[in-house]
Structure 1
Amino acid sequence: MANTSDNTRPELIHDDPDLIRALGLDWTPEQTQDYLSGIKVFKVKRLAEDQVKPTPGVFWAEDEKAKEDWSQNWDGIPLAEDRDKRKGKEGQKLSPEDVRKIEVVGRDVFPYILKRGDAALFYDEDSGDLVFARLPNTVKNKEILAAITDVCKKTARERRGNRRDDPGHMALGGITAGRQGAVTNTISRSHLRETRHTDIEKARIHFEESSMASIVWNIITRRMPPEVKQDFDDGMAEKNLRRMDGGVAGDEFPHTETGGNTYVCALTTISTADPATGGNFFNAQYGILSLAEEDTITVWRVGDNHGTSLYHLIPRQNTGVAFFISANLKEEKEHSEPKYTLGQILNTKRPDPPVFSARRKRIAEHVSAWYLYEEPVAKTDQDFADAADITKPAGGEELGPDGATFAENELLDTSGQALGELWENCKEVDSTGEDPVRGAAASGIKRWVEDFSSDREISEEDVKGVKRSRV
């Protein structure tokens, strides 16, 4: 039974000035500009549609193994829906083969390849507009990254979708536009609808997610060129929104989107696998390939062809959070008052994420076991190799942490992404009304850091009752 009493006041956790300073949350615009002045700048030409590679609408594999892995994985699995609006005309019946086309294209089609550790800003040489940014090593705190990752992981388990065929994980967070044909702004619930959580427990879940998003948003905006933040501010103001829409994440073919603003901002918190095994983000419109790396901020424009390469089906963790404003969101004429006080929410224990059985033979069930069933995951790829008694490296010039090579094995794939796309709401729970990094974000992140240290070992209790799903 959830404790919603106002009699017990929540423990007050004061702002940690050292933490705020370490994360750069107190940066002035001048400090942001000084930081950006040290980043390499490229002027790039926008490619014509017939020059874009990989081919829009087709999944991209960097090698034959990735194509073979996914061809076998998809074999015999029907589409989640009879039609796929991302391809073909409205209502057109598409076969699984039509939707799941895979082409193998070498990296040499990209004039710009950003490796781990590379930082760069790309501007269109004609318009002068920012089109892509990659900023690695921004948080620099493994405990903070682990805390953010934990919330993302829970979001993926509670908000996962089983009606998409992308070989990634779809997780919705924040405000969505609801069902097509019945558009209304509402908090994303997804599988939360199917749980027995009380309303106050769901409010606690939303509170954790929005607090996590708030701290990430403040980290990102302290490092971004001012036009990116202005773009989000304008998009939010136009619709009079307090938070932002959720969306999709995964390994996508090259595609574009129509959004309520121009840019998408993302922070990758964990990326354990060798980039030679796929899962790398690209901007095909400007020929930019960005190899997967943890603790890295990425910014791109929704209208440019972009996507992620198919990955080898080996155990990996690839997690983060992204921000995007949906074009489908309606303008909010007024904001309703919160149903619960901050004290009620903080005095309510966050319920454990639900565990759902594999009711369908869906792609997401197979590739996201770590998120859905809390599969124990080794800390390094060498641990994976040791567990499988495999010593053959996967190849490629990229090395893992401390120079360790990565190895392939046939273990159940545990990848998946929880890019819960959320919006800062720190101001609405900040009693001071002064600084958006105060209040919920400062206290919430400190709570998570205490509970989820990156050095925490997996215990027998952690894996008790774990379910495996092999489809």
Structure 2
Amino acid sequence: MPYQLLSSEEVLERGITLPPDIPSHIHLKVIAISRLASPYPPPNLHMVENETILNLWEEHMDKVPLSDARLKKKEIQLMDMNRLQYDVQEGENIIFVDDKTNETVLVVVQNLMNDPKIVAVMNGVCIDQLNKTSLLMRLDDAGRMASVGYTSGQHSTGQLLWGKSLKEKNNAEQAYKISCIFAHSWQNALNVLPQDVYDGVVKEYEVTKLGPPSGSISVNYERHIHNEKNLNKYCVSHTTARSHPPEFGGNFYNAAYGIRVPGRIDQLVAWAGSDYHGTSLANVDLVDPKPSFHQSGLAFLLSNRLVDSHKKTERKRKAGVLDNKDFFDPAEGPDSVAFNNKEEIRPKPRAVLPIRKPIKDRGADKVYSKQRIETFHLPADHPYKRWTKKQMIAELDTRNENGKPLIFNSSKKNVGMMYLLLKNDGDEVSVTYADPPRAESGSKSIAGTKDETEEGEYDAADDDWKEEEEDD
């Protein structure tokens, strides 16, 4: 048998620690389950549970282009339910552990809040947040997902700040509401989650009392079978609304162990992000602004870029260029409490999956900022001429610590590092920019490629310094 229901004695023998403060209305059982030799459902496929949903989505996938033409559309496959090892039934609350390592692989807790009115309010706040959000995540997946809480910012200028994706300028009240429901959900989750699920958050991030600093909210969101590496080992989701039974799709799958978790309202699910997992496509009208199928909720996720963005933020703070304006202005404050007398905020009519237009061709002559050629004008003989990149980065870090602040990007070439050091020394240096050379009509040669750099100049497009020096 691929799984085994463990008794209390077997749980103790295996060294499995159960949550100490489990609510009286929740009865947890522990199941040891074997990892599949190969994941099922298979990775990189969209899964559907019946022919009706299959026909609906196949037609839609053929018509709708992806947001990025470089991406490839995922295929759709019909589920074979006989290949699953376990299907979580109504009323079951289970901690799944690996039968060999005894590590937690999946947690399913139904009726977490045990209060329909609170769940309705939480769902209303989630939907209201999505309606007011201008930036969405994972545009090629079905449904809508938006990040909330602290974000790592743009890749080019990362900075650890509270996400500002709302359309309104004064969004302190909305942020206060969304923070409240995340905190309330996390505090209830701590009562039912095994210690190893949230242990990394306690030891590494020290945010357990207040809840993880970032997460996401979604409505009718489905994604193909995939795995991911986050800052936290385990992802935790809480479903705040579900309108239809499992036959309509939108069910969660742990493909590494062949487990299906049908979507249910007020259901908590925790899983290891490194294990293959995904959500099946739902039987939903894809462009109806008021679809009858509705499933929404929140999830606790920590991006891998948060640590790097935190380091960049500290560098900017030391350099005195950090935009450290408080997101919550104490003088303003929220206009009202997070939970008012309304049991639910009605969502605005919005389509489940937008019809996207093909990507506009920018033309062959389009020049992007990263393609522009930098020419650094430096003294002919300077003290950093033979320094390695590692030496220069160490020197820049030392200057930051010693009160000579400057901002630098460690991905720059050697000549860029020299430019920063000399500029910080007070030497006369400069940099000019030029468009990349273009091929002449009817010729394979590149026009304007002759090196016209005068003595004492370094051209970033023709860097003299060898890459081996960077590894010294």
Shorter-chain TM band = 0.5 to 0.7
User: What is the Cα deviation at residue 225 of structure 1?
Assistant: 1.4
Match of 1:18 in 2: none
Whether the 8 Å CA contact 1:267–1:295 is kept in 2: the answer is: yes
Partner of residue 126 from structure 1, selected from 91, 100, 106: 100
Matched, 1:135 2:109: yes
After superposition, the Cα gap between the structure-2 partners of 1:77 and 1:232, relative to the gap in structure 1 and judged at 3 Å, is same
Match of 2:214 in 1: 245
SS of equivalent residue, structure 2 residue 333: helix
Match of 1:203 in 2: 172
After superposition, the Cα gap between the structure-2 partners of 1:223 and 1:294, relative to the gap in structure 1 and judged at 3 Å, is same
User: What is the Cα deviation at residue 126 of structure 1?
Assistant: 1.5
Whether the 8 Å CA contact 2:148–2:217 is kept in 1: the answer is: no
Partner of residue 31 from structure 1, selected from 21, 44, 62: 21
> 1:53-132 to 2 correspondence within 5 Å?
53-84=40-71, 94=72, 99-132=73-106
> 1:169-184 to 2 correspondence within 5 Å?
169-184=144-159
SS of equivalent residue, structure 1 residue 31: coil
SS of equivalent residue, structure 1 residue 171: strand
Match of 1:452 in 2: 343
Q: Which runs of 5+ in 2 are unaligned?
A: 1-17, 286-291, 318-323, 356-472
Whole-angstrom CA distance in 2 between matches of 1:232 and 1:183:
22
After superposition, the Cα gap between the structure-2 partners of 1:83 and 1:125, relative to the gap in structure 1 and judged at 3 Å, is same
RMSD: 3.1
Whole-angstrom CA distance in 1 between matches of 2:173 and 2:142:
30
User: What is the Cα deviation at residue 162 of structure 1?
Assistant: 7.4
User: What is the Cα deviation at residue 242 of structure 1?
Assistant: 8.2
Matched, 1:327 2:304: yes
Whole-angstrom CA distance in 2 between matches of 1:125 and 1:29:
19
After superposition, the Cα gap between the structure-2 partners of 1:54 and 1:338, relative to the gap in structure 1 and judged at 3 Å, is same
Whole-angstrom CA distance in 2 between matches of 1:113 and 1:312:
20
Whether the 8 Å CA contact 2:98–2:105 is kept in 1: the answer is: yes
Whether the 8 Å CA contact 1:280–1:289 is kept in 2: the answer is: yes
Whole-angstrom CA distance in 2 between matches of 1:83 and 1:55:
23
Partner of residue 344 from structure 1, selected from 301, 320, 332: 332
Bigger relative contact order, structure 1 or 2, given CA contacts below 8 A and separation 6+?
1
Match of 1:425 in 2: none
Whether the 8 Å CA contact 1:58–1:254 is kept in 2: the answer is: yes
1:361-418: per-residue Cα shift (whole Å, max 9, x none)? Answer: xxxxxxxxxxxxxxxxxxxxxxxxxxxxxxxxxxxxxxxxxxxxxxxxxxxxxxxxxx
User: What is the Cα deviation at residue 130 of structure 1?
Assistant: 0.6
> 1:36-435 to 2 correspondence within 5 Å?
38-48=27-37, 51-84=38-71, 94=72, 99-159=73-133, 161=136, 164-190=139-165, 192=166, 195=167, 197-198=168-169, 201-237=170-206, 243-247=212-216, 250-314=221-285, 315-330=292-307, 332=310, 338-342=326-330, 344-346=332-334, 348=335
User: What is the Cα deviation at residue 223 of structure 1?
Assistant: 1.8
Whether the 8 Å CA contact 2:235–2:301 is kept in 1: the answer is: yes
Whole-angstrom CA distance in 2 between matches of 1:248 and 1:261:
17
Match of 2:9 in 1: none
Match of 1:356 in 2: none
User: What is the Cα deviation at residue 161 of structure 1?
Assistant: 2.1
Whole-angstrom CA distance in 2 between matches of 1:228 and 1:34:
21
Whether the 8 Å CA contact 2:23–2:191 is kept in 1: the answer is: no
Whole-angstrom CA distance in 2 between matches of 1:140 and 1:234:
30
Whether the 8 Å CA contact 1:255–1:307 is kept in 2: the answer is: yes
Whole-angstrom CA distance in 1 between matches of 2:237 and 2:28:
18
Whole-angstrom CA distance in 1 between matches of 2:182 and 2:243:
22
After superposition, the Cα gap between the structure-2 partners of 1:275 and 1:340, relative to the gap in structure 1 and judged at 3 Å, is closer
After superposition, the Cα gap between the structure-2 partners of 1:119 and 1:234, relative to the gap in structure 1 and judged at 3 Å, is same
User: What is the Cα deviation at residue 29 of structure 1?
Assistant: 6.5
1:406-444: per-residue Cα shift (whole Å, max 9, x none)? Answer: xxxxxxxxxxxxxxxxxxxxxxxxxxxxxxxxxxxxx63
Identity of aligned residues (%): 24
Q: Which runs of 5+ in 1 are unaligned?
A: 1-27, 85-93, 350-442
Whole-angstrom CA distance in 1 between matches of 2:68 and 2:330:
41
**Amino acid in the other structure paired with 2:119:** L
SS of equivalent residue, structure 1 residue 174: strand
Structure number with the higher strand fraction is: 2
User: What is the Cα deviation at residue 42 of structure 1?
Assistant: 0.9
Match of 1:377 in 2: none
**Amino acid in the other structure paired with 2:151:** T
Whether the 8 Å CA contact 1:145–1:269 is kept in 2: the answer is: yes
After superposition, the Cα gap between the structure-2 partners of 1:337 and 1:79, relative to the gap in structure 1 and judged at 3 Å, is closer
User: What is the Cα deviation at residue 185 of structure 1?
Assistant: 1.9
SS of equivalent residue, structure 2 residue 105: strand
SS of equivalent residue, structure 1 residue 264: strand
After superposition, the Cα gap between the structure-2 partners of 1:132 and 1:259, relative to the gap in structure 1 and judged at 3 Å, is same
Whole-angstrom CA distance in 1 between matches of 2:155 and 2:81:
38
- How many residues were matched structurally? 316
Q: Which moved more, 1:224-233 or 1:205-214?
A: 224-233
Whether the 8 Å CA contact 1:235–1:325 is kept in 2: the answer is: no
1:16-39: per-residue Cα shift (whole Å, max 9, x none)? Answer: xxxxxxxxxxxx964339887x41
User: What is the Cα deviation at residue 148 of structure 1?
Assistant: 0.3
After superposition, the Cα gap between the structure-2 partners of 1:106 and 1:251, relative to the gap in structure 1 and judged at 3 Å, is same
User: What is the Cα deviation at residue 158 of structure 1?
Assistant: 2.6
**Amino acid in the other structure paired with 2:332:** Q
Whole-angstrom CA distance in 1 between matches of 2:238 and 2:350:
30
Structure number with the higher helix fraction is: 1
Whole-angstrom CA distance in 2 between matches of 1:149 and 1:291:
19
Whole-angstrom CA distance in 2 between matches of 1:158 and 1:294:
23
**TM-score normalised to the size of structure 1?**
0.61
**Amino acid in the other structure paired with 1:252:** R
